[in-house]
Amino acid sequence: MIKVIVNRNEITVSAAAERALLVLKRNDFAAMRSDFMEGSPRWSKFTLPADSATLEKLGVREVWRKWAKNERELKFFREHPRCKTGIFGDERRINAILKRIAEKRENKS
């Protein structure tokens, strides 16, 4: 667990949540729910936090296909026609959180 301050708010980021943010960044801040599964199919673990308040602090939200509004969400669902939900992230917030985590690790070394 790493505590970082973004916009004067302290956020506690677990290792699994950090990996989830990296997955979102790698997928251009829009990914399928299945991209956040780790481990073998029998013992898989979902890396995103289940708490909606924590997801909001991290700048992550889950959108169902029928509630897609903006162009980015609509484009994602056009590219993935069988996907029912998409995980979308706020690019600026996620980059800020990952930058603060990297700074903390550099200062620690």
Q: Is the pLDDT of residue 109 over 90?
A: no
Residues 6+ apart with CB under 8 A from 59: 89, 90, 92, 93, 94, 97
Residues 6+ apart with CB under 8 A from 67: none
Closest CA to 58 of 27, 29, 37: 29
**Mean pLDDT within 29-44:** 92
**Mean pLDDT within 84-104:** 96
Return the DSSP state at 84.
Answer: S
Q: Confidence class of residue 108 from pLDDT cuts 50, 70 and 90? A: confident
Tell me the pLDDT of the chain averaged across its residues: 93
Domain ranges of the chain: 2-108
Please write the tens of the pLDDT for every residue from 39-85. Answer: 988 898 999 988 899 999 999 999 999 999 999 999 999 999 999 99
